[in-house]
Structure 1
Amino acid sequence: MTADRIAEFALSGHQKPESAIVMGATLLIDTLGVAAGAVGLEAGRIARDYAVAFHGASTPENAASILFDGRRASIPGAAFAAATQIDNLDAHDGLNPTKGHIGCAVVPALFAFAEARPELSARDALSALVMSYEIAARAAFALHASVVDYHTSGSWNALGVAALGCRLGGASPDQLRQALGIAEYHGPRSQMMREIANPTMLHDGSGMGALVGTMASLLALRGFTGAPALTVEDEAAAPFWTDLNEVWTIERNYVKPYPVCRWAHAALDALSGLKHENRFDARDVANIEVNTFAEAAALFPGMPANTSQAQYSLPFAVATMLVHGRIGPDQINGAALRDPQVAAILPRISVRETARHSMRFPEGRWSDVNVELNDGTRLESGDTHARGGPEAPLKMHELEAKFHIMAAALPESRRQAIWEMRKRMLHPDTKFDELARLVRAPMEKLSG
């Protein structure tokens, strides 16, 4: 039975390929960089304050620290706050076939669950994290194949969070089964394209995915029962689980070079390539045509009024890349939303769906860009796939540079200590708490 195979995989702690463990460490640190970069965003502040105010824990062992905040909430509250914070800076990892994101929910949950286990080794934590990525990915495949609506990541990454809680909580196979059923039943079946049409702090539903997933495992460990998860136990879902423990989807996750929806990344990479080859800037450009897939063409079209719209706007991202040559947290927030140079470029940018790019989605994220210069020169990028995934992975120096850009609000010494944990976690004698101490403290200081 599929449920038995999943239980053995999720709860046994058997050996994972070293390549999957290394990728887990990389994605974990990358996600922490995003978490640090998102501390100053309004959505993260609201989520943290809400969790502290309304999600308290009655005993210390049931509480967890909110990442980069220093305050504590219940385990579900801490996971919800950090996942919401990360979800609202769209620079976290993803997996193309899932049409969404795993790390933004399971990484905060890992820290929340692990706080009561200071003896947990870093390698065991990474093994549990890899397991949760694999469970969440297959739940996503099964869900997308069985429903008409395009649901947000929270609807399925909740199952990865639930599996993680069961693993670290010492659950039985039946308790895992109940937890997955609870997580799926209460997971946010929110429609992604509604958020694309009207960008808000809801983003990809991963805050609620983390909340529901943590609650599901904690309830199941106390005897609460749930309806069997259809994405796990339904006969139609079985093919998506047959390669569990054989194919490691975590190794196919992408890392984003820019903190905007990845649907815009192919166009950004295409434009960057043209700029590098032809040495033009915004003053030289008469117009830009972006050909892309349908979902990307539906991104917010105008000058954004808030950071949510900025992160879900392909034209704004293209204009920003043209004017500034980069997109980091400072380019999608605050004064950047009123940048007159970017605003002046927007009317020169047109976006349209192209059938060949739409046919490649969700397995690929393709676009092409045509630039007409003021002197009449026409430059064509050709079909371009977004960088950061297995098709065109970022080099390690790029990953490190991105981490320091995202976490720039942290002192350099603290940033460097967190980055160095990417390698230290692979040592058998390293405790996960060594990393956790670096990220539990508020931004301005380290806890003892």
Structure 2
Amino acid sequence: MSAWQVFEVQILPTSPLQLGDESTVGSFQSTGDRIPGAVLRGAVAEHLMAHCSQPEYVTDHHRCPDRADCPFWQVFGGEREPLFGFAYPGRRGPAYPFPLTARTCKLYAGYEANDGRVHHGVYDLLLDRFFYELVTDPRFPAREALLPELGRDWPRLQRVPEERCPLCGGPLARPVGTYAVGADGVPGDAGTLPVRRVVHVGINRARGVAEDGLLFVQEIIEPAREGFAFYARVAVPQTEVDLLRPYLDGARYVVGRGRSRGLGAVEVAIRREGASSPDLQTRLADFQRAARAVRRFYAEQDPRIGLDTAGTLFSLTLRSPAIFERYGRPLLVPTPAMLGLPPEVRLVRAWARPETVGGWNAAAGLPRRTRLAARAGGVYLFWVPPSVDRSALMDCLNRLEVEGIGRERARGYGQVTVCAPFHVHNRLGATERSQR
């Protein structure tokens, strides 16, 4: 039996929300578009501590004489803590940030939606760009292992015109926001976050009237509009499932800013239990078929390029920012050894961008120190030689998808999807050739 139970949690706003973990300078205060895992984790911890029988030890749990019977200590004091993932807004269901390999038409951006506008879809460049660089660059990493027939040759091959929209020929740009995954596992439109701006005026404390020049604007997220909700994945150790379930299913919390003004009320419910759909075996097989289709496109141009890739390719796509450190120095790209992968596995391509993350430590009443992280949506592509045991590889990939990668995983950092269906269903090369 697995050591973890995975829950898909729905967070439904019942009052306006104002999210964010950075101080605002000036007269405009924006809201975040996601709920960090630390926010839900802190809300659950606060409710668990409400049952504390020794309030004098609230700030010193290790010395508490009743910690063995304390619900808070049973959940957060063990060797394995629950892993609270980042929550993203969606209308169809779970939503995820767009990978850095995603592109959309710059003129008619986004998926098809019932909003009366024209959209030319969203596409993915992961496999098409990887194989083009592999077959044309003699210095590409792992080329001698993946394409020994080419050696150091520099062939000139036709390339799928990835920089143009396959429908109108316009330029492509990176999409902004999130995409949804339906019950069939096909990516689609997640909708637009319902945000409105509220104008306030500062009050003169001496006279009790509006002060000239003190207007300020705040963004808030509308509650339960158009079926919107936030969705997150929470992994709970099997030994703590029964204890934590009441705090994830039917519980009510207050999150974000402006709590004294009635903002931030949410209801949390368990939407589904178990692993994501489709399962990992299916996603890995679909990824290999898509890679074989891209390779066939170049094999038709040069007979030295075989139809099949020796070994296995798999991708890790970040669903939340990831914090990597090696010898005390921050990294954007982890090594296979840092992820606990077999030593034969090689990282062959990475798409990563930096981001500064921080937050607020409610227990200490202090801000957390900022750290450099890889932005959500980063993609890491790995190659596994045929000599690696298949069952050992699957165990590693299942562990990475449940437990995440990098540091601060209990606060939601480092959540990944192995062979995300987005890279297969939205592959630009297949779309481009189907339009010809």
TM bracket, shorter-chain basis: under 0.3
Normalised TM-score (structure 2): 0.23
Q: Which has the higher contact order (CA 8 A, sep 6+)?
A: 2
Normalised TM-score (structure 1): 0.23
In terms of fraction of residues, the more helix-rich structure is 1
In terms of fraction of residues, the more strand-rich structure is 2
Query: Larger C-alpha radius of gyration, 1 or 2?
Result: 2
